[in-house]
Structure formats: structure tokens, C-alpha cells
Amino acid sequence: IDIKTLRNATNGVITIDPGFKNTGSCESAITFLDGEKGILRYRGYPIEQLAEKADFLEVAYALIFGNLPTTEQLETFRSDIKKQSVVDDDIKKILDAFPKSAHPMGVLSSLTSALTAFNSSSVNVDSEEEMYRAITKIMGKFPVLVAWTMRKKQGLPLNYGSNSLGYVENIMKMMFEQPNETYEVNPVIKDALDKLLILHADHEQNCSTSTVRIAGSSHVGLFSSLSTGISALWGPLHGGANQAVLEMLEAIKADGGDTKKYMAKAKDKSDPFRLMGFGHRVYKNFDPRAKIIKKAADEVLNDLGVEDPILEIAKGLEQEALNDKYFVDRKLYPNVDFYSGIIYRAMGIPVDMFTVMFALGRLPGWIAQWREMRLKKEPIGRPRQIYIGENERDFVSIDKR
Ligand code: ACO
């Protein structure tokens, strides 16, 4: 049934569904998830296999273009991205103008938007060739913006990646390289980062992705659409949860490590506190990403020889929640972000950069969803409402109000 026939048949009836809990906004061939069974697949490939066997750039390619790449396709993609891995020097001036205290997500969203000023040919893209150019540009430049956002905060000189390194290795080099030293990639951290980025790469029509699709549906360019997604991701109910989780675990530790006290707080309806990193709109049995990340957290901490008491607090909370009626009844389980912060911290990434790392992983997903929406020529996103305001009334001059 086409939309005009439907509109006529329903006589203009509008469905109301706050939070879009039961509303599909599009048809998509990118990511399948079954919240009851805890299944997540990108382009049909199970997340467990991708996290175990693929690298992030391969997964990015599959998400964006539909299939895992051949060696040749991957090489072309890699080298096209590499050619775009520098940003205009004036971006440094914009970065410099931000106060050191600025939250990295605000800086990243602004810089991503600012890229439109220096890449005008990427703003209005219609053909697949133009889209490809815009995609390789942002895949190349985004890690530079991410690394520079962190380096500026840490007072480190701005740097670039190296031609001899892969995509994820270059992210690490740009983030962690110290002045007057040759950066050596630690393979344990590289593997863990690959995994984390893959697990975050797409998650169908979540808040930030829907934001990207709806902004892009006005045919504003890719970079502007992505900057709206970054802003949406920042919120603590979405990507900002990974920062909130670590801050919560730190607070529990500082308060003597009494997890039971915080479980009680989370259940107390008069207290706005929620157990951050628990619950998910779609997963109602377990989050398959959380399973993989929990294992990775153990491995990374072991390999790096880090003993983090926070990991024990996290495991304690998970255990208690599993046996707690409130959490069981509401199907609240650890989500992807419950353990990710522990790994990021062990890697030496500051807490306020955690959500930026999420954005780095989600980039290919946002791109894939934007590209699908444009190629399918979806109409502009424009929900309706039920008006509940005043009826018609007359204007009253200001001296009579
Ligand atoms: N701690 C305590 N209670 C919770 C929690 C929590 N983390 N999450 C949900 N609940 C309770 C609610 O109070 C509500 O209880 P009620 O039925 O008695 O009123 C019930 O569980 C259902 O919660 P809703 O908020 O209606 O569920 P919704 O699907 O709208 O929200 C969300 C999902 C936002 C993830 C929520 O669980 C939450 O706030 N979690 C904490 C933040 C978080 O970890 N966000 C990251 C999500 S994953 C991601 O974006 C990558």
C-alpha cells in the first residue's frame, strides 16, 4: 500500500509512539538484531565472528558497501582513505580556540561540522562516486580529529599517522605518541581496540543513527549529518553511558565499594539514580556485545598486568543484578558500555574520551545508514504530532497581559 492510499484510507489518523518504541522508520539491509535472542549481525555476518576474525576496516567496508571486501577492494579502500588522512591547517586554529576544559564530544561534533567549510565538494553529493569520495574523506580525517581533540587537552603536539601503518594502528599512533619517541604498537591493545571498534560499528536505528538518517534526509551533506549523530551520541542515555559507567564505578569505590547500597539506590523510584551500563531498549536477555567485551576486559587487563579494583566492582554489580528480582523482572542486563570503559582506561584513554571512542567505532555505521538512505531516495523525515496546546485565542497587547 502506498503512503497516499494509506493516508486517504485512514482519514489522516496519526499514530503516537513516544520514543518510537514500536515504530519502524525505514527498511534496512545493514544490521539485524533480535533483542529476545541476543543476536546481532552486520550484513548477515554474526558479530561474534567479526569480533574474533575481522579487522575494523574490513567491517567498515562490509557495513558501507554490503559484503566483506576482497584483498584488492580492501587495499583500494585503505589507500583511498590514507590519501585523505590530513586535515586543513586552519582546523588547528579552530581547535586552538576551544578552552581546554571543553568536553571532547562537543569539540568533535564542531570540528566534524567545520570540515564542510574546507571540503565544499563533499557537501552536496548525489552520485555514488561523489558519495565514495566523501566517505573516504571522512574515514581518513575523523581519526585525526579524534586524536587531536585528545592531544590538545593533554597539551601534546598535533601529529599525523604513518603511511606504513594500518587504520587502527594509526589511530593508536596519533593518540598515544609522545614527543621524542618512536611509537611502538602494542599488539594486545591493537587487538582489543579493533574488537571494541567493531562491536560499536552499527546498531540499526538507535538514537544517533536515526538522527544521522533524519538530518541527511534533508540532503544536507554527510559531514553535517555525522556531526548531528555525534551530538546525539554524547547523551548519557546513549553513548555517554560509557563515561557515566566509569564515573559511577569510581564513586562506588570511593564510597567504600558497597555495591548493595547502589543496587538499592537504583531500585528506589524516588531516587533518579540508575545503574549506568544496565538496560537496553532492544536487548531483553543479554547484549551479545557485552559478553565479548567482558571477556576482552579480562584479557587486556591480564596481558597488560593491570589490576583494576573497578573490574571487581563491575563484576559484583553484574552478579547481584542477575539475582535481583527488580533487574530480572525488567530484563536489565549489562549493555555494551558496562565493560568498555574499563578497557579504555587500561589503554590509557582519559574518561571524557570514552564516548569519542564510541563515535570512532560508530562512524562506518552512520555512513552506511546515510548512504543507504540516500541511495534508496528516502523522503525527508518528518514525523507528525498530536497538538495538545491552546485552542484559537485572540492576540492581547503587551500592556493588557
Ligand atoms: N537502572 C535502574 N532501573 C532501570 C535502569 C537502570 N539502568 N534502566 C531501566 N530501568 C527501569 C526503569 O526505571 C523502568 O522501571 P519501571 O518499569 O518500574 O518504571 C524500567 O526499567 C524500564 O526502563 P525504561 O527507561 O522505560 O526503558 P527504555 O527502553 O526507555 O530505556 C535505557 C533504555 C535508556 C538504556 C535505560 O535502560 C537506561 O537509562 N539505562 C542506563 C543508561 C545506559 O546504560 N545507556 C546505554 C544504553 S546502550 C547504548 O546506547 C550504547
280 catalytic per annotation: yes
Query: Which ligand 1 atom is the nearest neighbour of the CA of 278?
Result: 7
pLDDT digits (tens, 9 = 90+) for 170-191: 999 999 999 988 999 999 899 9
Mean pLDDT, residues 254-258: 93
The model's confidence at residue 3, banded by pLDDT at 50, 70 and 90, is confident
- Backbone phi, then psi, for 334, in 5-degree steps? -60, 135
CA of 331 to the centre of ligand 1 (A): 10
How large a percentage of the chain has pLDDT more than 70?
A: 100
Query: How much distance in Å is there from the Cα of 272 to the middle of ligand 1?
Result: 11
Task: Give residue 326's pLDDT.
Answer: 96
Distance CA 341, CA 339 (A): 6
The sign of the dihedral angle between the CA atoms of 131, 136, 139, 144 is negative
Q: What is the pLDDT of residues 40-94, one digit of tens each?
A: 999 999 999 999 999 999 999 999 999 999 999 999 999 999 999 999 999 999 9
Catalytic residue among 55, 287, 337, 352: 337
| Residue 11 clears pLDDT 80, i.e. is over it | no
**Cell numbers given for 247:** 564515573
- pLDDT value, residue 290: 92
Task: Count H helices and E strands in the chain, helices first.
Answer: 18, 3
pLDDT at 361 (0 to 100): 98
- Measured torsion, CA atoms of residues 224, 227, 228, 229, in degrees rounded to the nearest 10: 120
The predicted structure's pLDDT at residue 301 = 87
Instruction: Tell me how far apart the alpha carbons of residues 342 and 243 are, in angstroms, rounded to a whole number.
Output: 10
Give the number of other Cβ atoms within 10 Å of residue 89's Cβ.
9
19 CA closest ligand 1 atom index = 30
Question: Can you say whether residue 329 is alpha, beta or left, with left for phi > 0 and alpha for psi between -120 and 50 degrees?
Answer: alpha
Residue with cell 558500555: 337
Phi, psi of 32 (to 5 degrees): -110, 130
pTM score of the predicted model = 0.91
Residue 389 CB coordination number (10 Å): 4
Query: How many Å is the maximal CA-CA distance in the chain?
Result: 75
Q: Which of 194, 203, 280, 352 is catalytic?
A: 280
- Cα end-to-end span (Å), the chain: 51
The pLDDT of residue 305: 86
Per-residue confidence (pLDDT) for residue 1, from 0 to 100 = 66
Q: How confident is the model at residue 26 (pLDDT cuts 50, 70, 90)?
A: very high
Confidence of residue 9 (pLDDT cuts 50, 70, 90): confident
The arithmetic mean of pLDDT across residues 5-34, rounded, is 89
Residue 103 C-alpha cell reads as: 568536553
Confidence category of residue 304, pLDDT binned at 50, 70, 90: confident
Residue 308 binned pLDDT confidence (cut-offs 50, 70, 90): confident
pLDDT of residue 72: 98
Q: Which residues line ligand 1 (CB under 6 A)?
A: 19, 237-239, 241, 266, 274-281, 330, 332, 335-337
User: Which residue among 278, 282, 335 is best mutated to probe the pocket of ligand 1, counting the most ligand atoms within 8 A of its Cβ?
Assistant: 278
- Give the closest residue (by CA) to ligand 1 atom 29: 281
Q: Is 17 a catalytic residue?
A: no
Retrieve residue 56's grid coordinates.
575494523
As a whole number, mean pLDDT of residues 241-250 equals 91
Give the model confidence (pLDDT) of 278-302 as tens digits: 999 889 888 999 989 988 888 888 8
Choice from 105, 209, 330 to test ligand 1 binding pocket (greatest atom count within 8 A of CB):
330
**Average pLDDT rounded to a whole number, residues 257-264:** 93
C-alpha 22 to ligand 1 mean position (Å): 16
User: What does the chain come to in residues?
Assistant: 401
- The span from the CA of 335 to the CA of 279, in Å, is 6
Provide the 10 A C-beta neighbour count for residue 383.
12
CA of 76 relative to ligand 1 center, distance in Å: 42
> 160 with 177: CB under 8 angstroms?
no
> Which atom of ligand 1 is least distant from the CA of 238?
50
- 42-52 pLDDT, tens digit per residue, is 999 999 999 99
Please provide the average confidence, as pLDDT, over all residues in the chain: 93
Closest ligand 1 atom number to CA of residue 287: 48
- 144-148, 159-163, 299-303: least confident range: 299-303
Cell for 286? 543479554
Nearest to 147, CA basis, from 113, 175, 177: 175
Segment 342-354, tens digit of pLDDT: 899 989 999 999 9
Cβ atoms of 309 and 253 within 8 Å: the answer is yes
Going by C-alpha positions, the residue among 340, 323, 223, 221 that lies closest to residue 277 is 340
